[in-house]
Amino acid sequence: MRAQPKTLLAWLCDRDRLPYRRFEGRFTEHGVRLFGHSPNNPTCGETQFRRWTSGKLVTLPSPAACQILEAMWPEYTADQLFGPPAKDDPQAPAYDLEQRVRMTAEDALDGADATASASISDNTIDELRDQVTAVARRYHAMAPAQAYEAADRLRMAIERQRDRTQVPVQQQELMILNGQAAALLSVAAFNLGYFEPARSLARAAAMFGETTRFTLLQAYADGTLAYIAYHTGNATEAVAKATRALSYGGLGDVAQRRPQAIKARAHGHLGDVTAARRAIGAAAEAGRDCRDDLHDTVGGEFGFAPERLAMSTSTTALLIGDATQAAVDAERALALLGQRPQEEQSAHVRASAAADLAHARLLADDVDGAAEALTPVWDVPAEHRNTGIVVRTARIGRHLTRPAYHGAQLPMALRERIEDYNRVSPPHRIGPHVAILALGV
């Protein structure tokens, strides 16, 4: 038995034979009549339509949306439309079986026709795919908040197109793109210091990958979940997530590099030096020359460039107490980065590697060398100071509080500068002010 409508709006849609797609078309038409052809006109996606008809809304939609609904059913106010349904319809004619049968047949035909024709241009999907690739490849040059806004706009554009097609192949492509947008949103949220939303977005990306059987996206999302676990003090979970990220088929060399690097850091934090070194070796292995469609073809933030691997290995070396190797790897990361064209150089990698180099020099009691190494860090604009940079500099600041440095002018000056530097970073200024662990990205 069909459930009774919860709202007058749901009841009217049933009465007037308005499933979502017909409702959306009529809603758009009335919006154009009221407000003209404007990109600011209210829209109604399928998920929103379900909320409107569910009877669970706490507040009314926007005034413009209410105005459109009142134009669609001028005999009712918005308050009435979102209230309980009427018991009787004074406008309903006497029951007519013939009319009912004819309307049902027409509805079925219209529904079949709508299903057959409900598609979008393949060019639209190609454009969205190009936009996802562009955001991924520009990610290193954008501030975390800017990257988040770009990825979220893209996600909404993809969602709008999903509402407009019923072609399975197109739905599949759009879900994969939606998952990639969610993955980029997760990284941006993490870089802003919002760990819980970052985790939820990574899980959403993983679910899109699972639904579409696009295992490359699942692997990337699990890698993201691994380093979120690591940064929230769950190193054992980080190892498990990174191991699962490596379990999927079809991964290229780059795809395997990232989870191995995360495993190395997690093992280092757990004090398992042997396992950490083994993971470092696995991350550095090459020779298979294997590529995949996400980590290589799209690349950008989905990739894991050699300089980023060297930066990560430097952080692991610090965790296992090998300051000499940390300095070597940090210097290699900076050298590899310097070989790239200026527009392809990541400020995050440069600042992070420079901070690791400074920390390694501090461990060798070279305060002057540490101060010199920090020079590129100070050049990063406030809006680009993401979680990884903040974590590393905060770790140095804590090291400089040791009794051996008390009363020394340069360590005190560096510590104060780091405090000022991090205070205006997004994780401190607009983030949730969580206790960020000094472990590194």
Domain ranges, ordered by start, for the chain: 8-92+103-117, 305-441
Residue type, 115: T
Handedness of CA 290, 294, 295, 299 (dihedral sign): positive
Residue 170's alpha-carbon distances to 19, 176, 365, in angstroms, are 22, 10, 60
Asked if 9 and 46 touch (Cβ cutoff 8 Å), the reply is no
The angle that helices 8-15 and 46-54 make with each other, rounded to 10 degrees, is 120
Residue 20: per-residue pLDDT: 87
C-alpha of 160 from chain center = 18
Residue-level pLDDT at 113: 44
Total count of residues recorded for the chain: 441
Query: In the CATH scheme, what is the code of domain 305-441?
Result: 1.25.40
Residue 55 CB partners (closer than 8 Å, separation 6+): 6, 7, 10, 84
User: Cβ distance 65 to 42 under 8 Å?
Assistant: yes
DSSP labels for 14-37?
Answer: HHTT--HHHHHHHHHHHHHHHH-S
pLDDT at position 409: 96
Query: Can you count the helices (H) and strands (E) in the chain?
Result: 22, 0
121: which DSSP letter? -
**pLDDT at residue 94 in the model:** 41
pLDDT in tens, the chain (441 residues): 446 788 999 999 888 888 888 899 899 989 888 888 888 899 998 888 988 998 888 889 999 999 999 999 988 999 999 998 876 554 444 444 554 455 555 555 445 545 544 689 999 999 999 999 999 999 999 999 999 999 999 999 999 998 889 899 999 999 999 999 999 999 999 999 999 999 999 999 999 999 999 999 999 999 999 999 999 999 999 999 999 999 998 999 999 999 999 999 999 999 999 999 999 999 988 557 899 999 999 999 999 999 999 999 999 999 999 999 999 999 999 999 999 999 999 999 999 999 999 999 999 999 999 999 999 999 999 999 999 999 999 999 999 999 999 999 999 999 999 999 999 999 987 665 444 443 443
Q: What is the pLDDT of residue 108?
A: 55
CB 330 within 8 A of CB 311: yes
Residue linked to tokens 């298979």: 288
In angstroms, rounded to a whole number, what is the distance separating the alpha carbons of residues 105 and 428?
Answer: 61
Q: Is the CB of residue 303 less than 8 Å from the CB of residue 291?
A: no
3-state SS class at 207: helix
Q: For position 90, what pLDDT does the model report?
A: 46
Sequence-separated (6 or more) residues with CB below 8 Å from residue 256: 246, 282, 283
Measured distance CA(398)–CA(400) in Å, rounded:
5
Asked whether the CA dihedral 88, 90, 95, 96 is positive or negative, the reply is negative
By the 10 Å C-beta count (0-12 exposed, 13-18 middle, 19+ buried), 401 is classed as exposed
